[in-house]
Amino acid sequence: MRLSRYFLPLLKEVPSEAQIVSHQLMLRAGMIRQSSAGIYSWLPLGFRVLRRVEQIVREEMNAAGAHEILMPAIQPAELWQESGRYEDYGKEMLRITDRHERPMLYGPTHEEVVTDIFRRSVRSYRDLPVNLYQIQWKFRDEIRPRFGVMRGREFLMKDNYSFDLDLAGAMRSYDNMFMAYVRTFRRMDLTAIPMRASSGAIGGDMSHEFQVLAATGESQVYYDVAFEEFDFLAAVADEATVEHLKGLYAATDEEHDSASCPVPAERLRSGRGIEVGQIFYFGTKYSKPMGATVAGPDGQEVPVEMGCYGIGISRLAGALIEVFHDDAGIRWPESVAPFRLGIINLRPGDAACDALVADLEGKLARAGVEVLIDDRDESPGAKFATMDLIGLPWQAIVGPRGVKQGVVELKNRASGERQELSPEALLGRMTA
């Protein structure tokens, strides 16, 4: 992709409404534009990140045996009257009346819709367990939306729903999602601390929230250092592992009491956290009132045991920037970067520079490496600043002096390390 033909509207000034660094950087780097309070358009660079995050989540959900579906944004009010939540939700629910005066709503969550699908489709315990997920936009009419995509009104969630015959099955589903979650965040280079949580408006008996560590996080969290030492990607998702992780101490400052904390001081860590996901076991809270039953082994109808599991996809795009940034801009980890490499052509119009850039562009495209080329007619300083701001993991600088000597400069955005190497060596590094 060539920047001269890309749609990357950078902002020089920090918009005053942006209070936190991820919001500021997403606006400055042309990733998003506000449409109305708490509602954003995702521009090409931001959209690519959203897609990367979404794809990691999707792969881990598929690997965990969940099936992807897509439920509608607009839901009928009747389903919420059936579950008894229609009045509970208050003003955060965006209520709508259609042309036939039927009460509808823009779904803030989908327990009712998925329970309705289940009860119309599944009859026997032999078809269990079922685990369905979707990646869908939701709406919560926050009274004071702020912090950009971290707390928007229209936001993208991954939400799973599990259906089991009994408590033991439901716990297996819960634990399976628990492990999928720690893996998912780890794949984005995030350390996520699972901690016991209250289940709020979703309701239920057991819940964990996942807090990723970020210096600018919204809450203070305390946790056993074992979380940092644990290899989430290599871990086997067996019962013992889940029990080990569930048993490790972790608490927000509201719950934490240093006097009664079971972890010795030398093994206790503390930091700021951002909540990026939550999982719930809520048993028959929805299946009972909505009549979602299956015939059990003895032929008796039993309401299914359910859980639900959410990850904030659009929130993660912001949270990742809270974790990965410095004064110059964003520092994307490779796992979610919008492009892997940025090539700065210091002198567009110089035949040798243009030829080398075009050669690299073609070879990298064929190798499937995503590259953004700054071929704009701007000063070197402006190009360096742009590349640091948008935060691609690698920068290659092609200038007349280097081209003559047969070298380009490669810079690692995160470490700032620079080295000169031949174009062939650059290709080798990027396609390895």
Binding piece for its own copies, criterion CB under 8 A, among 44-52, 166-174, 253-261, 353-361: 44-52
Give the integer Cα–Cα distance in Å for 174 and 308. 8
For the CB of residue 131, give the shortest distance to its own copies in the complex, in Å. 9
Amino acid letter, residue 138 = K
For the CB of residue 39, give the shortest distance to its own copies in the complex, in Å. 5
**Does the footprint of its own copies cover residue 35 (CB under 8 A)?**
yes
Give the integer Cα–Cα distance in Å for 199 and 209. 9
| Window 248-277: residues binding its own copies (CB under 8 A) | none
**Does the footprint of its own copies cover residue 91 (CB under 8 A)?**
yes
Q: Which is nearer to its own copies, 50 or 357 (CB)?
A: 50
Q: Which is nearer to its own copies, 7 or 381 (CB)?
A: 7
Options 13, 16, 143, 233; binder of its own copies; rule CB under 8 A: 143
Binding piece for its own copies, criterion CB under 8 A, among 92-100, 250-258, 379-387, 392-400: 92-100
* C-alpha pair distances (Å), 406 with each of 22, 145, 350: 38, 52, 15
Q: Which is nearer to its own copies, 96 or 358 (CB)?
A: 96
Q: Which is nearer to its own copies, 98 or 238 (CB)?
A: 98
Give the integer Cα–Cα distance in Å for 353 and 409. 13
User: In this structure, what token pair is assigned to residue 283?
Assistant: 């048993």
Binding piece for its own copies, criterion CB under 8 A, among 27-35, 278-286, 380-388, 403-411: 27-35
Q: Which is nearer to its own copies, 75 or 386 (CB)?
A: 75
Burial of 272 (0-12, 13-18, 19+ CB in 10 A): middle
| Window 4-23: residues binding its own copies (CB under 8 A) | 5-7, 9
Give the integer Cα–Cα distance in Å for 4 and 8. 9
* C-alpha pair distances (Å), 401 with each of 51, 352, 396, 397, 407: 38, 10, 14, 11, 9
For the CB of residue 402, give the shortest distance to its own copies in the complex, in Å. 28
Beta strands 394-398; 341-345: pairing state? parallel
Give the integer Cα–Cα distance in Å for 313 and 229. 26
Give the per-residue contact string, 54-83, with its own copies (x = CB under 8 A; - = no).
-----------x-xxxxxxxxxx-------
Options 43, 56, 263, 343; binder of its own copies; rule CB under 8 A: 43
Q: Which is nearer to its own copies, 40 or 394 (CB)?
A: 40
Give the integer Cα–Cα distance in Å for 342 and 383. 10
**Does the footprint of its own copies cover residue 49 (CB under 8 A)?**
no
Angle at 242 between CA 238 and CA 246, to 5 degrees: 170
155-169 in b/e form (b: 16+ CB < 10 A) is bbbbbbbbbbbeeeb
Options 17, 55, 96, 253; binder of its own copies; rule CB under 8 A: 96
**Nearest CA-CA partner of 263 in 248, 278, 274, 253:** 248
**Does the footprint of its own copies cover residue 375 (CB under 8 A)?**
no
Size of the site for its own copies (CB under 8 A): 50
**Does the footprint of its own copies cover residue 146 (CB under 8 A)?**
no
Give the integer Cα–Cα distance in Å for 21 and 132. 35
Name, in order, each residue with C-beta under 8 angstroms of 273's C-beta and a sequence gap of 6 or more.
193, 211, 212, 213, 214, 217, 218, 219, 220, 221, 252
Q: Which is nearer to its own copies, 122 or 193 (CB)?
A: 122
| Window 154-183: residues binding its own copies (CB under 8 A) | 154
**Does the footprint of its own copies cover residue 206 (CB under 8 A)?**
no
**Does the footprint of its own copies cover residue 50 (CB under 8 A)?**
yes
C-alpha dihedral, 226 to 162 to 188 to 335, nearest 10°: 150
- Applying CB under 8 A, the residues found at the interface with its own copies are 5-7, 9, 30, 33, 35-36, 39-44, 47, 50, 65, 67-76, 91-92, 94, 96, 98-99, 102, 104, 106, 113, 116-117, 120-122, 130, 132, 137, 139, 141, 143, 153-154
